[in-house]
Amino acid sequence: MRKRAPSKGIFALPYAVVCVIFVVFPLLLVVVYAFRSAEGGFSFSTLAAVFTNSSNYIALLRTIGIAFLATAICLIIAYPVAFILAASPFNKIAILALLFVIPMWMNFMLRMFALQAILSMMGIANTFAAAIIGLVYDFFPFMLLPIYTSLVNLDRSYAEASGDLGANGFTTFLKTTLPLSVPGILSGVTMVFMPCFSAYAVTDVLGSADTTLIGRKIAVLFDLQEWEAGSALSLVLLVLVMLTMLVGTLISRRNKAKDGGSAMPKAGGRML
């Protein structure tokens, strides 16, 4: 009698256990404390207080604004760099792209303190600009790599066909290369925008009081052992992040549906 081979799913069991202990269980605790009163009973008052406190709105709007600005700057810088790297003769082995990732191997705080020293010599330490520079510096590779991967994997025949039909380089880029790289752009924007919500360590080291993010307020509440208020604010932040992910997923699926509806993108106003 032959013994049945173990199911492949059993190899995922250790990962599932780790996720339950360190991800699912803490999230459940956050939800429980968010709907808990200071006396220990069930209550919506703690969660409602999040929306009645004007300082929460200010911190949230500041966080969204800083995250949006850092993401936009990363995109503006990363796309041309990724385009140049993808067109280089070394793109197959990604030597040049690796140079942008190597600093990520260094400890996060060491990089922040090194950047703080450089900005201090420039006279802009502990300012709004320093905080934005720190966020861009820290999350730039997360924007660069998805766009670079998307551009490297593009079918070059599309651009060649666009040129054969009379489109110039700018038109080819605008109507062929850019639309086909949208999935990489969406992935990069998601990977940069969402972590900026809670990356308060960067703004604490490099920024000022004007760059205090909502993540810092949550950390302060937990330091003061105000578990209910901190959990309620964390739950609101978690919902906002999930909504951002949902919007990004819907946009990505919509673009894939459009790509599936046409065999090739348009160039010069005509179908390739």
Measured over the CA atoms of residue 69, residue 234, residue 185 and residue 143, the dihedral's sign is positive
Report the percentage of the chain scoring pLDDT > 90.
20
| Cβ within 8 Å of residue 17, ≥6 positions away | none
| The pLDDT of residue 272 is above 60 | no
| The pLDDT of residue 209 is above 80 | no
Residue range 153-184, pLDDT digits in tens: 887 777 778 777 777 878 888 888 888 888 89
The pTM score is 0.81
**Mean pLDDT over each residue of the chain, to the nearest integer:** 82
* Res 4: pLDDT: 66
Residue linked to tokens 């993540």: 215
| The pLDDT of residue 267 is above 60 | no
- Average pLDDT for residues 105-134, to the nearest whole number? 89
106 to each of 114, 137, 188, 264, how far by Cα in Å? 11, 13, 21, 43
| The pLDDT of residue 29 is above 60 | yes
* 176/185 Cα distance (integer angstroms): 14
| Cβ within 8 Å of residue 4, ≥6 positions away | none
First to last CA, the chain: 60
| The pLDDT of residue 19 is above 70 | yes
* Res 94: pLDDT: 61
Distance, C-alpha 32 to centroid of its chain: 27
238 to each of 214, 216, 218, 244, how far by Cα in Å? 12, 15, 12, 10
* Res 271: pLDDT: 35
